[in-house]
Structure 1
Amino acid sequence: MTSIAVVEDDPNIQRIVSAYLEKSGYEVNVLDDAEQGMNLWKTNPPDMWILDIMLPGMDGYDFCKKIREKSDVPIIIISAKDEEVDKILGLELGGDDYLTKPFSPGELVARVKRLFKRVQPTSQSNEAEIQVLDLMIYPDERRVFWKGQEVELTTKEFGMTLLFAKHPNRAFSREELLQRVWGDDYVGSDRAVDDLVKRLRKKFTDIPLETVWGYGYRFKVEEGST
């Protein structure tokens, strides 16, 4: 059964949200704070997180950031903060959706279903392996090797790596990378692209992932290289 963790310290919201989600067929874990969320993440990570921002101790922003550093699991942020700057911050830190309190429980369920549908693969690609320089990718197995060593990647890291490998030397704008890796409905800033490229450079030592100043990035391959 698909599991969802709800990190929210308001008992009324806990009760209503969990009731609606369980009625829709999801397994729900209700947690009072981010510290409990950290424990669940380490022992039995859910398939989705629903996070309140105003939590005792570590707030939802910091928890969202910690999750996103290691995983692309779907995250919906719920908050009484309705300023645009708060929504942008939540999305830039890795949230996939942002819902302002008070909200309809039915709308939350609809957004949960839509988000799960968006992140789940729809079909088998049956793509052959791709090799560029010291980079080897097996798309169907979602396995990536760099200089003979397997590299563990999140979903978005894999998506961007595969895109660059398929189009060596092509310069992609930040806007196009957002559209092709994050999807058409992403509403955060292009800083997310820079953060993801930084993570790839850290994981792939000496990878020729070049900055095209004022535009975006390209995977540079010298003529005659294999």
Structure 2
Amino acid sequence: MDLNYLANLQKQWAAKVIIPPDNAGYAPQPDDIIFSLDIQYVDNTAFVGLDVQRYSGELMGTYVERTSVDVPYVPQFFCFREGPPLLKIINWVQQHFNLKPDVLITDGHGIAHPRRFGVACWLGVHTHLPTIGCAKQTLLDYQGVLGKKRGSCLPVYLENEKVGKVLRTQENIKPIFVSPGHQISLNTAADMILNLAPRYRICEPLRRADQAARAYAKGKEVQGTPCTPV
């Protein structure tokens, strides 16, 4: 991997990312369809889970796919490893089930990234859809003490620009890190993730995608999930 080339590519593509100001851009509606995605790896095979639900909470299905990857894991360059497998299953579900997402949520970062281009940005630029990054760890430092109550948050800054939020989704549970990837404001992204996480640290649709990917990677049957090995 030529990391200098990839870093420059991230910077070029970051210029295509659109993050609207608060109270502007995409606003979720109850019937909106959410695609949430996660990946588990076994050697050079990616096992991808994609959960589909409406913002109102109606479950519409969970799907899995298996594909090979040839890009190694390198911190801060995760989008080049995860983006193509995620895009592949998004396109497959759209084509085979006529499901059109209104917004994407992925396990990873959006603009809260040293070069403002995490995997959520990669997906947003390639799909032209509102996209949210929801990660378990941060790539950027933040200041302050996060409150213990559900909904407590702290801003994450990069070069004096607010690019993400540290968000407590459950009282006294470790926070998550939310950042917009494309076509959605930071506040809207954080509000959506909190609303989708009534019981657990990880929001429900992303949690189901993770569970499906883990089960598929272990060779277990995933109930009600069409599988399309490649």
TM-score, scaled relative to structure 2: 0.25
Structure in which a larger fraction of residues adopt helix? 1
Structure in which a larger fraction of residues adopt strand? 2
Answer 1 or 2: higher relative contact order, Cα 8 Å, separation at least 6.
2
Q: Which has the larger radius of gyration?
A: 1
